[in-house]
Amino acid sequence: MSYLKMVCLGCALFAAMAISSSAQTVTTLYSFPKKGGLTQDLALIQGRDGQLYGTTVAGGTHGDGTVFKISTLGVVRAVYSFDSIHGAGPEGGLSLASDGSFYGTTAAGGIGTPPKGVIFKVSPSGPEQVLVNLDDSTGVAIIPPVEATNGNLYGETDGTGGTSVGGLFKLTGGGVFNTLYTFDGLLGSYPEGKLVQAINNRLYGVADSGGAHGCGSIFEFALNSLPISAYDFDCVTANNPVGGLILANDGNFYGTTDAGGTHGLGVIYRFDQSGVFTVLYNFGDTAFDSFTHAALVQATDGNLYGTIPSGGVYGNGTLFQITLQGVYTRISDFSVNGPQYANSGLMQHTNGAIYGESQDGGAGSTGTIYRLDMGLGPFVAFVIPTGKVGKSAQILGQGLTGTTSVTFNGVEAASFKVVSDTYITAVVPAGATTGAVVVATPAGNLTSNVSFRISQ
């Protein structure tokens, strides 16, 4: 994980700026002040209330970091301030689970022997609950765990006792922590990014080094089995995967590395579940190009979007788009007055806009939260895009008040509940098959950004 600029919550909303072309606009929503915390490495998360949630590594009441939320209009509020006893330095961001809470990790603090941070959950209004105090036997957990279809949380550690090179763990709904696997370098070393569950119910992740060639690996594991190697990076074609994987609508994984490739600056790659690895783009193939540290995001136009923390016309980094066929476009250059060093991943809000964080720039030269508009319309998304017939699916969106129907691949749900304007639940109907979910609202139909998968 890279070291980020000091920031905190509590400054006034910075006047919006824009870097624009005829097709897209980048707008600063919030500018962090000169002292306080550190912004996170991973993407912001949308909650049931339509707000975006994230973490700062320092700042807050005790100086040990915060959980914060920001509206799509740029209004920021602190949700929770950490202290050394309940964890410190939550640099990895958050994951949203089906109970409506956010889960995350801290890199320090807690009451382990010795203290190595905590795994915590926090509600949208606080307070925090420490689930696990980490120590030498568990290792440090930087990346937040993610909920799998069995209801358990799965995550990664950076090592145990100072001797190992990472591990995988399971956390049950009752808070029971189990180490599933300890890496020894042969399968990989130091896992990176959140785990991703595929349509085969297996979890996939990347390790930034180790493996057969010492240059990183992609690994996979069933929910109750040990991990196996899915792919070993060969150090020439690609080296040192960063940011983790995403599962795109075509059923393939996409990711990035920050080394290897034609120019030694890393690549954007595709990996399918049959084991075929394809380089889509070599960083450095175009002018003003550089490497990335962040994960990609697929937007509702089908394209992938990402950030480059340096380079570009002004040397302050860029935003890029790449199609699933490998057509790469630099869509915006960060200027001297706006976001700079955008090292965090991007996310698409259900209003259609894409949001990200920079670790430099802005009014205090300490980072920003910004919005990228690509002219994409609103949609609905899922907390977990998988469910069984007769069980409730959790759907995020906006303008949901007054919804008249919810259909699962054309089959209407007999029962749904509008919990709020930004969150509804719907019971998966008999006869439903895997496909898009459509929510009929007073303003028109909203279609899901991914297919909802019917499980057995």
pLDDT over threshold 60, residue 188: yes
Lowest mean pLDDT among 2-6, 51-55, 111-115, 131-135: 2-6
Pairing status of strand 453-454 against strand 386-387 = parallel
d(CA 167, CA 147): 17
Rounded (5°) CA angle 375-444-21: 5
Which structural domains are found in the chain, ordered by start?
183-293 (2.120.10.30), 381-454 (2.60.40.10)
**229-265: per-residue pLDDT in tens?**
999 999 999 999 999 999 999 999 999 999 999 999 9
pLDDT over threshold 70, residue 12: no
Q: What is the CA radius of gyration of the chain?
A: 21
Tell which wins on pLDDT, 195 or 6. 195
Percent of the chain with pLDDT over 90: 72
**307-366: per-residue pLDDT in tens?**
998 888 888 889 999 999 999 999 988 887 777 788 888 999 999 999 999 887 777 777
**Does the global pTM surpass 0.75?**
yes
Closest to 70 in 3D by CA, of 142, 6, 16, 124? 124
d(CA 219, CA 209): 12
Which long-range contacts does 160-166 make (Cβ < 8 Å, 24+ apart)? 160/136, 161/136, 161/137, 162/136, 164/139, 165/189, 165/190, 165/209, 165/210, 166/139, 166/190, 166/191, 166/207
pLDDT band at 22 (very low <50, low <70, confident <90, very high): very low
Q: Which residue has the tokens 């962040």?
A: 294
pLDDT band at 407 (very low <50, low <70, confident <90, very high): very high
User: pLDDT at position 38, please?
Assistant: 60
CA–centroid distance for 117 within its chain: 20
pLDDT band at 286 (very low <50, low <70, confident <90, very high): confident
Burial class (CB in 10 A: 0-12, 13-18, 19+), 73: exposed
Hey, what are 158's tokens? 């950076």
Contacts of 450 (CB under 8 A, 6+ apart): 249, 381, 382, 385
DSSP-derived letter for residue 452 is B
